A and B are shown apart, each in its own frame.
Chain A
């Protein structure tokens, strides 16, 4: 099973700052099979990025993704108030399709 480790567990930042969220895989995965999801309290996860770096429909361009092999990053430039929620990465390269444990972005 591919273990995805997200860091940090919690990121404390102020609105307008830049956030960098890491997702590290226990083995190399194909970058086209890495996605990022955003989850707001009481809501279902929402697809943010697929193919590690392609924004899903309707996702603002302050969100970007990068990485390959075992190291992937979700970057949010200029944090907006609605961005202070939880983010998950997921890999679809190897069964079972595993998720990271999540990074919570909180207001400092």
Chain B
């Protein structure tokens, strides 16, 4: 059974860097066509896709966050991480990691979806 678990240092002060780790178990982090993703749930605003890193370490970010985001892979620890620089209160959210991959739908098409999610971790940005 594939499981993902987020971990992080807790509260972050404005202008600092938010750092989170997602630990993956039950699946190889280097499996073909897997896209290890970060998503956040902003209070009162809904879900926002942050970006992903592929099994080949190719990254793809939300343009609105690209200048501040880095997602990286640590294959030796079966983990991937998120760094978000220069945080403000607007970055306060529940942060989720998830596995994205292509699934074959009922019509035979390759359909992308995030099929396994971590439980989420709350990050509060406050001085």
| Interface of A toward B, CB cutoff 8 Å | 32-33, 35, 43-47, 50-54, 56-57, 88, 90, 92, 95-102
- In chain B, positions 56-115 with a C-beta closer than 8 Å to chain A are 60, 62-64, 96, 98, 103, 105-107, 109-115
Set of chain B residues within 8 Å of A101, measured between Cβ atoms: 46
Dominant secondary structure at the A interface: loop
Question: A52, A88, A97, A99 — which one has the most chain B CB atoms within 10 A of its CB?
Answer: A97
Contact indicator per residue, chain B 30-68, by CB within 8 Å of chain A (1) or not (0): 000000000000000011110000000000101110000
Tell whether, in the assembled complex, residue B113 and residue A50 are in contact, meaning their CB atoms are under 8 Å apart: yes
B residues sitting closer than 8 Å to A (CB atoms) are 46-49, 60, 62-64, 96, 98, 103, 105-107, 109-115, 117-120
> Nearest Cβ in chain A — how far from B111, in angstroms?
4
Partner of A51, one of B47, B107, B120: B107
- Give the Cβ gap from A64 to chain B, nearest Cβ, in Å: 11
Q: What are 16 of the A-B contact pairs (CB < 8 Å)?
A: A32-B109, A35-B114, A44-B96, A44-B117, A45-B47, A45-B96, A45-B117, A47-B114, A50-B112, A51-B107, A90-B47, A95-B62, A95-B63, A96-B62, A96-B63, A97-B49
Tell whether, in the assembled complex, residue A51 and residue B105 are in contact, meaning their CB atoms are under 8 Å apart.
Answer: yes
A65 to B120, CA, bound (A): 27
Docked pose: A48 CA to B111 CA in angstroms = 13
B46 smallest CB distance to A (angstroms): 5
Does B46 contact A32, Cβ atoms closer than 8 Å?
no
Q: Which residue on B lies nearest to A34, using beta carbons?
A: B111
Residues of A within 8 A of B48 (CB): 99
